[in-house]
């Protein structure tokens, strides 16, 4: 024991090799059993209590154990996982001595991603793959607007009437301009579409178009398009066989909270739908850290909450563990909270009655320990301390223990701009993702149709004018024949004047036609 904390000695190495060490407590090392890591988890605590460092500790240790990690880096600090913490800061050395661990400065393989393509490789999906439920969430759609969105997706799924399938696949909705074009098509064909799918009013479409315009102005158009992110890239092992930490640069994205939360939920949904059943693994394939998790549940409709609960309940059988990071356990609905078996609770502050209620709720969620007054100590924890309870080998929660979280071996804090550029260049994903693709889809098909329809209308108008002119000449000849037995009585001067007028009319007609097609007179 050192300072009342259990020391992690060499005799513990074999037992600890199948665990992720969180820190030391008077009751012994506190760790997550790798076999139970896919039973999800929670990291909670007030601002400034050490949640980000705890997240970094877990991420680097999962990677060292051969488990891939995906984490949203909302402050940029997690990028430090890619750089050794050499020399370690003074507080880290002191903490390591307190809990009896040896600091081994080192780094993990990290891949940097960014929706906007600025601080990492672009990460995209198509509008169609996002699905109507999540797209409605991003757009904060009303019930009527949700219906219009669902119809748009249905039309995209069935294909446009008499439309040639887009080259390279049958996905009509790739980016936001495709979505806008399809909504315009629905508005212009409202009567026909309404008979088949239900009424969509021009007002509903106009409101959605305004919301899409706002999304584009906020930069969300960077997220939708191709090449879409290949989820298999998230599961590839590192160069030496270890795990890879995939970091989403979210400093800018977090300013669009609905897009941020919906994007991460989309990733989880894709993993759930795309991965095969994995059975009972010795360690997860992937651990997914969802920072600022309260944004996922805030104002979420019941249909979305049901989807989240379903994903959390079933995705663990695919070998994926989800860890929510938020300020209070109360931020997470009970139906989801009940599935989070591994818990790290940093300090909570109880300044108001609602804060006190949150403290009591957090305390009640732990398995009791006679030596720990949870409701009292949860308010007294220092920075870097936490109340910890994890699942043991049998899947039962361990008694809660007051724990000093171990320091990370990597750098605490963000990497420099030069280091970030080097990480991006060396990842090997630039050729695959950095250049956008824009193949034929709804926008191109509907634009081509409109151009063809306009050209046909011009040709029809031109033909009608020509027919009208021909009829006029025939009537003129017929009238002249009746008046003079087949010979015109007009004088030579009148006939010359008629020819002049006819030439002028023809010249004017030619200029009108040139104006219709946009042609200009060629200079000689």
Q: Which residues contact 147 (CB under 8 A, 6 or more apart)?
A: 198, 200, 204
Q: Stretch 471-489: mean pLDDT, rounded? A: 67
| Mean of pLDDT over the chain | 86
In sign, the C-alpha dihedral spanning 434, 232, 257, 287 is negative
Write b or e for each residue in 50-73: b if 16 or more Cβ atoms lie within 10 A of its Cβ, otherwise e. Answer: bbbbbbbbbbbbbbebbbbbbbbb
Per-residue pLDDT of 109-133, as tens digits, reads 999 999 999 999 999 999 999 999 9
> In the prediction, which pLDDT does 293 show?
94
- Specify whether the CB–CB gap between 107 and 82 falls below 8 A: yes
pLDDT at 4 over 80: no
In three-state secondary structure terms, 140 is: coil
Task: Assign 519 a pLDDT band (cuts: 50, 70, 90).
Answer: very low
Share of the chain above pLDDT 90, in %: 63
Q: Which residues contact 167 (CB under 8 A, 6 or more apart)?
A: 439, 440
* Distance between CA atoms of residues 280 and 43, nearest Å: 24
Q: Do the strands 245-249 and 68-73 form a parallel or antiparallel pair, or are they unpaired?
A: parallel
Q: Do the strands 320-326 and 41-44 form a parallel or antiparallel pair, or are they unpaired?
A: parallel
Q: Do the strands 342-345 and 286-290 form a parallel or antiparallel pair, or are they unpaired?
A: unpaired
pLDDT at 483 over 60: no
pTM (global) more than 0.95: no
**The token pair that represents 7 in the structure block:** 């020391």
- Specify whether the CB–CB gap between 69 and 245 falls below 8 A: yes
- Specify whether the CB–CB gap between 347 and 381 falls below 8 A: yes
Task: Assign 520 a pLDDT band (cuts: 50, 70, 90).
Answer: very low
Q: Which residues contact 303 (CB under 8 A, 6 or more apart)?
A: 133
Per-residue pLDDT of 36-68, as tens digits, reads 999 999 999 999 999 999 999 999 999 999 999
- Specify whether the CB–CB gap between 399 and 389 falls below 8 A: yes
* Distance between CA atoms of residues 268 and 266, nearest Å: 5
Q: Stretch 313-322: mean pLDDT, rounded? A: 94
Question: Of 145, 214, 229, 150, whose CA–CA distance to 176 is shortest?
Answer: 214
- Specify whether the CB–CB gap between 501 and 473 falls below 8 A: no
Q: Stretch 321-345: mean pLDDT, rounded? A: 94
Quick count: other Cβ atoms within 10 Å of Cβ 162? 6
């Amino acid at each position: 024991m050192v300072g009342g904390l259990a020391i992690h000695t060499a005799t513990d190495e074999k037992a600890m090799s199948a665990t992720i060490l969180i820190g030391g407590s008077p009751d012994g090392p506190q760790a997550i059993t790798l076999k139970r890591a896919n039973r999800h988890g929670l990291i909670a605590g007030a601002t400034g209590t050490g949640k980000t460092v705890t997240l970094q500790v877990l991420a680097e240790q999962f990677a060292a154990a051969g488990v891939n990690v995906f984490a949203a880096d909302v402050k940029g600090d997690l990028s430090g996982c890619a750089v050794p913490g050499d020399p370690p800061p003074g507080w880290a050395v002191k903490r390591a001595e307190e809990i009896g661990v040896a600091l081994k400065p080192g780094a993990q393989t990290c891949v940097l991603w960014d929706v906007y393509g600025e601080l990492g490789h672009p990460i995209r999906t198509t509008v169609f793959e996002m699905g109507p439920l999540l797209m409605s969430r991003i757009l904060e759609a009303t019930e009527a607007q949700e219906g219009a969105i669902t119809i748009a997706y249905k039309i995209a799924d069935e294909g446009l009437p008499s439309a040639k399938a887009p080259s390279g696949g049958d996905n009509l909705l790739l980016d936001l301009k495709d979505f806008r074009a399809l909504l315009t098509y629905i508005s212009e064909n409202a009567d026909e579409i309404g008979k088949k799918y239900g009424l969509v009013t021009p007002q509903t479409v106009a409101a959605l178009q305004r919301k899409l315009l706002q999304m584009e102005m906020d930069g969300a158009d960077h997220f939708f398009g191709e090449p879409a992110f290949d989820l298999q890239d998230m599961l590839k092992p590192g160069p030496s066989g270890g795990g890879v930490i995939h970091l989403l640069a979210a400093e800018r994205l977090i300013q669009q909270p609905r897009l941020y939360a919906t994007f991460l939920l989309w990733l989880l949904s894709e993993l759930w739908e795309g991965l095969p059943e994995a059975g009972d693994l010795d360690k997860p394939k992937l651990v997914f850290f969802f920072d600022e998790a309260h944004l996922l549940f805030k104002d979420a409709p019941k249909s979305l909450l049901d989807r989240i609960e379903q994903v959390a309940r079933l995705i663990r059988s695919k070998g994926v563990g989800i860890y929510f990071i938020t300020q209070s356990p109360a931020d997470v609905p009970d139906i989801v909270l009940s599935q989070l078996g591994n818990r790290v609770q940093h300090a909570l502050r109880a300044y108001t009655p609602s804060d006190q209620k949150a403290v009591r709720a957090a305390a009640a969620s732990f398995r009791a320990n006679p030596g720990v007054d949870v409701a009292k100590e949860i308010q007294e924890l220092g920075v870097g301390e936490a109340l910890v309870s994890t699942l043991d080998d049998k899947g039962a929660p361990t008694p809660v223990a007051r724990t000093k979280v171990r320091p990370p071996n990597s750098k605490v804090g963000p990497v420099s701009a030069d280091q970030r550029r080097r990480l991006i260049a060396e990842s090997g994903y630039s050729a695959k993702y950095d250049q956008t693709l824009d193949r034929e889809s709804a926008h191109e098909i509907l634009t081509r149709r409109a151009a063809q329809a306009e050209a046909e209308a011009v040709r029809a108008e031109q033909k009608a004018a020509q027919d009208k002119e021909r009829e006029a000449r025939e009537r003129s000849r017929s009238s002249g024949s009746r008046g003079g037995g087949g010979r015109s009585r007009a004088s030579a001067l009148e006939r010359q004047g008629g020819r002049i007028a006819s030439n002028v009319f023809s010249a004017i007609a030619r200029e009108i036609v040139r104006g219709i097609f946009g042609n200009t007179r060629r200079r000689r």
